[in-house]
Structure 1
Amino acid sequence: MSASYQRREMARNRYLVLPSVILLTAFVLYPSGVAIYTSLTNLSLTGPAALNPRFIGLGNYARLLHDGSFWHSLVVTFWFVLFSAIIGQLALGLASAVLMRRRFALRPFFNAIILMPNAVPGVVAALMWSSMLASGDYGTLNKIVAWFGVDPQRWLVTFPLSMIIVINIWRGIGFAMILMTSGLSAISDELYEAARMDGATPWQSFRRITLPLLVPTIFLYLLVSTVTTIAIFSLVYALTRGGPAGATEIIGIYVYNQSFDAYRLGYGSAIAVVLLVISLIIGMFYVRALKVEV
């Protein structure tokens, strides 16, 4: 292969990736750079700092270390991500993928039911669930539990974090099922046939064949779902605004409250930068885990 041909190929490849580089720079790198710079200032939406912000270095980050509300939002975010994305969506998505591989009546109907929440925008889903979880005798869930003799509950007040975890699981099962189904389709049926001939039970086949071979798919799903769940905002904001008393104030809600309710853009940007660093660390961990050999 001539050197001139290689140079033309390299130039063509650069032109092909140029649109992606432009979009990445415009919508990811530049906003991230602006956020990092803003986090080093005392920029505010009101007062003297709105017109003439000062460079204060790591002052906002030092303040974060002593901000109890910030650490509380991190804890709430941890439980929200753990139970909704890492445990709930993964477990139910995998179970749905395994069940949907079997042939039974109305399988397309159940597939559609599981996948339908993916087509619902976050705000629309929040409004729908607000109606279902409404207090008093008019809420759908209260009507259901009344059949069993349970008194009406104020679900988003008594069990706020549990409710948004359930709603987020409902929204994410479809995506988990799609990824798990693609992983299951790559496993040869001959392995299961050989296991059955050796006397393996369905549980043994699942534990010894399915799970080990699904490890790369599982870690890929965890990478995507963990990062996207950390960044959730519209669903929780439309449901609870982070309340009551901060019970559902995940980190995205806390960034919004500090930036636009408390008018401290510099401080809110510092929280957003910390969130970015946490997401990058989690992403690096999962990328390394994806290299595991089965």
Structure 2
Amino acid sequence: MTSTVTAPASALAASQPPARKRRRRRSTPLIALLLGPAAVLIIVFIVAPAVYGMYLSFTNTQLTGFAARSPKLVGFDNYAYLLTNADFLSSLGHTGEFVLYSAIIGQTVLGMVAAILLSRPWIRGKGIFGAAILMPMVVPEVVASLTWASVLSNNSSGTLNLLTSFFGAGSTDWLQVVPLASVVAVNIWRGIAFAMIMFQAALEDVPVELIEAARIDGARAIQVFRHVTLPLIRGPVFLYLLLTTISTVGAFGLVYFLTQGGPAGQTRIAAIYIYERALQFSQIGIGSAASMILLAIVLVLGLVYVRLAKVEV
């Protein structure tokens, strides 16, 4: 009589890879094939320039002069210079004002109002209203800048001066008198469409039953929005704030075409300061260091938005 020794079931199960692992191994080449081109583009056009820019920020690289021929490492000298430079610190302050008033307050609030109005069934002419808001989004930046330069022109034929003349006001050079407010208004005009699209999509996912229940309990429209709707769309709102903050911090063309950073540096935001240092004054090292400081500020703001939205990354 022979006895056979059988392996425990647990040992057999452990010796064979689970079906989930086998499927994962089979799908790995497909995932690499699909994501590979995008990953290569990100590395070539985003990661590599960022790493090279970080390296340049520790050097005295210039486009002209002796430093252009043989740049040297200078450590944190560029950063120390920028953090004690009044012009750079002023440009950061102007950037903060520009982002706060145009992106965080202006575009967010007006975009939300537009999204709420378009979601109401009793609103007439939604197509015309939505098209009017979406139109600035499709207008090229240069065309928009030239158009607003004509609107804010200092002569009597400027559109805004023509409107104010009906009330007996004289011609005003708006880009000289209120330059920052002017560029803020133009940037709000450009960004409302994107905010409206994101918020309208978020509002459509809010359950109607919750809103009706709140109204039955006697909540007013503002209370429903504050205590029911807004908490449910918190994620999309902070996602939009993150995206609009990043794009507004890096804004350059619109402000430069309208004011070129003037008058007297009142609209010299960080992007214009970097452009002046790196390309006009040929100080690539200082310009790169300013870019790294701006990148660090944006990363900190991004982490704050993610924490506030309670999104796990």
TM-score normalized by structure 1?
A: 0.96
5+ residue gaps, structure 2, are 1-18
Match of 1:179 in 2: 198
The 1-side partners of 2:41 and 2:20 are apart by 33
**Residue 204 of structure 1 pairs with residue 215 of structure 2:** no
Cα RMSD for the two superposed structures = 1.4
Partner SS state of residue 233, structure 2: helix
CA offset digits 1:110-145 (Å, max 9, x no partner) = 100001111012221111100000002010000001
Q: Which amino acid in the other structure matches residue 156 of structure 2?
A: D
Q: Which amino acid in the other structure matches residue 57 of structure 1?
A: G
- Candidates 91, 116, 129, aligned match of 2:109: 91
Partner SS state of residue 137, structure 1: coil
- Candidates 25, 48, 70, aligned match of 2:88: 70
Shift of 1:257: 0.5
List aligned pairs for 1:252-291, cutoff 5 A.
252-291=271-310
List aligned pairs for 1:142-181, cutoff 5 A.
142-181=161-200
Q: Which amino acid in the other structure matches residue 106 of structure 2?
A: G
The 2-side partners of 1:22 and 1:244 are apart by 43
CA offset digits 1:254-283 (Å, max 9, x no partner) = 000001111111111110111111111111
**Residue 45 of structure 1 pairs with residue 59 of structure 2:** no
The 2-side partners of 1:146 and 1:95 are apart by 30
Shift of 1:292: 6.1
Partner SS state of residue 73, structure 2: coil
Q: Which amino acid in the other structure matches residue 105 of structure 1?
A: R
List aligned pairs for 1:236-255, cutoff 5 A.
236-255=255-274
5+ residue gaps, structure 1, are none
Shift of 1:232: 0.3
Shift of 1:105: 2.3
CA offset digits 1:148-195 (Å, max 9, x no partner) = 111111000000000000000000011001111011101111112112
Match of 1:82 in 2: 100
Equivalenced residue count is: 293
The 2-side partners of 1:11 and 1:288 are apart by 35
**Residue 127 of structure 1 pairs with residue 146 of structure 2:** yes
Shift of 1:289: 2.2
**Residue 227 of structure 1 pairs with residue 242 of structure 2:** no
The 2-side partners of 1:289 and 1:204 are apart by 21
Match of 1:9 in 2: 27
Q: Which amino acid in the other structure matches residue 61 of structure 1?
A: Y
CA offset digits 1:62-84 (Å, max 9, x no partner) = 11121100000000000000000
Q: Mean alpha-carbon deviation: is it higher for 257-266 or for 207-216?
A: 207-216
Partner SS state of residue 167, structure 1: helix
The 1-side partners of 2:31 and 2:164 are apart by 60
The 2-side partners of 1:2 and 1:149 are apart by 77
The 2-side partners of 1:70 and 1:2 are apart by 55
The 2-side partners of 1:63 and 1:2 are apart by 56
Shift of 1:2: 6.9
Q: Which amino acid in the other structure matches residue 142 of structure 1?
A: N
Cα 1:124/1:2, change in 2 over 3 Å: closer
Q: Which amino acid in the other structure matches residue 238 of structure 2?
A: F
The 2-side partners of 1:221 and 1:84 are apart by 13
Shift of 1:33: 1.0
The 1-side partners of 2:20 and 2:212 are apart by 51
Partner SS state of residue 127, structure 1: helix
The 1-side partners of 2:215 and 2:76 are apart by 62
CA offset digits 1:4-35 (Å, max 9, x no partner) = 54322123212221111101101100100111
Q: Which amino acid in the other structure matches residue 261 of structure 1?
A: Q
The 1-side partners of 2:311 and 2:239 are apart by 12
The percent identity for this pair of structures is 45
TM-score normalized by structure 2?
A: 0.90
